[in-house]
A and B are shown apart, each in its own frame.
Chain A
Amino acid sequence: MTASRFRVILYTITAIVSLAGLADATYLTVQALTGETLVCGGSPDCFRVLGSSYARVAGMPVAAFGSLGYFCVFSLATFAAFGYTRAGALLTLLVCAMFLVTLWLLYVQAFVLHAYCRYCLFSAATTFLLAGLVIAIPPSRASPSHNPYRTYKPNV
Chain B
Amino acid sequence: MKRYLPFIIVGAVALATLGSGAMLYRAKRPHLLTIPTDKNVSGKGAAESVHVRGNPDAPVTLEEFGDFQCPPCGSMAGFIDRLLKEYHPNLKVIFRNFPLPVHKFAREAALAAEAAGLQGHYWEMHEVLYREQAVWSKADNAQELFHSYAGMLGLNLDQFKKDMQSEKVRERVDSDQERGNSLGVKSTPTVFINNQEVAPNEKTPNGLRATINAALKQKPSKA
Ranked nearest first, the 8 interchain pairs of A and B with the lowest CB-CB distance are A35-B200, A41-B187, A40-B70, A35-B201, A39-B187, A82-B6, A75-B10, A34-B28
B28, A44: Cβ atoms closer than 8 Å: no
Judge whether B46 is part of the interface by a CB distance below 8 angstroms: no
Question: Using an 8 Å CB-CB cutoff, how does the interface string of A9-28 with B read, 1 for contact, 0 for none?
Answer: 00000000001001000110
Given contacts A30-B24, A71-B17, contact A35 B6 (CB under 8 A): no
Judge whether A60 is part of the interface by a CB distance below 8 angstroms: no
A152, B103: Cβ atoms closer than 8 Å: no
Q: What's the nearest-Cβ distance from chain B to residue A78, in Å? A: 5
B71, A51: Cβ atoms closer than 8 Å: yes
Which chain A residue shows the least CB distance to B28?
A34
User: A-contacting residues of B (Cβ < 8 Å)?
Assistant: 2-3, 5-6, 9-10, 13-14, 17, 20-21, 24-25, 28-30, 67, 69-73, 100, 102-103, 186-190, 199-204
Q: What's the nearest-Cβ distance from chain A to residue B118, in Å? A: 27
Tally A residues with Cβ within 8 Å of B.
Answer: 33
Judge whether A67 is part of the interface by a CB distance below 8 angstroms: yes
- Which of A44, A79, A84 interacts with B103 by CB under 8 Å? A44
A39, B24: Cβ atoms closer than 8 Å: no
Judge whether A38 is part of the interface by a CB distance below 8 angstroms: yes
Identify which of residues 58-105 in chain A touch chain B, using a CB-to-CB cut-off of 8 Å.
Answer: 67, 71, 74-75, 78-79, 81-82, 84
